[in-house]
Structure 1
Amino acid sequence: SARRGRIYLPQDELAEAGLSDEDIFKGVVTDKWRKFMKRQIKRARMFFEEAERGVTELRKESRWPVWASLLLYRQILDEIEANDYNNFTKRAYVGKAKKVLALPVAYGRSLLLPYSLRNNQT
């Protein structure tokens, strides 16, 4: 973490966004930071979409916890956006109520047919 003098962000993309290590250590949300974070969140959502296709191919008993994780991680991205991309001083987290509500949704998705079977049906 930046507070410990470490940055775990792609240096090339930080530079491309016009951000330096010093900007990260300052921890100030700027338009450059927002643009950088929007790009990271967009990429994360693309990975989640790919992962969702793969989840349906898992054994049925393994799907529910993976679906729950994907839903919760997506909600964390939503929280970062709701916090105006301020993940320097605001923690993006999903409250207990939202976590509990995600469980039946995840269970319902775990019952879906695998993508490979859905695409082959006529």
Structure 2
Amino acid sequence: MNANAIDKAANDINNTAQDARKDVHNAVDKAAEKAQPMVDKVAASVHSGVDQVGEKINAVTDSVSSASEKLMERSKEWTAAAQRAGETGRTYVRERPATSLLVALAAGYGLSKLLGARR
């Protein structure tokens, strides 16, 4: 082959490659144009789903926070009631030591009979 034939073959190959390249670019552009509405629709759907999940998480967080506050309030009430009961018991023992001792002895005896009967 001579130099002109080689140049012509190289030129033909280059032109064919350029045409194939343009065809591939055009195909990719067409596919992207057709896919874009679907991508937008999927993205909008995902955003909506994420927003719904976020709202549900906020609702659950609010419920847990409210329940926690109620539990803390009840805990304070129970603590105060236990302190009042303890103070009432101490006052009773100070005012009536003999009666308190007899009640404690009777309770101990009753418990020993109950627990001893189980053996």
User: For this structure pair, what is the TM-score category when the shorter chain's length is used for normalisation?
Assistant: under 0.3
TM-score, reference length from structure 2: 0.27
Normalized against structure 1, the TM-score is what? 0.26
Compare relative contact order (CA 8 Å, sep 6+) and give the higher one, 1 or 2: 1
Greater helix percent: which structure? Answer: 2
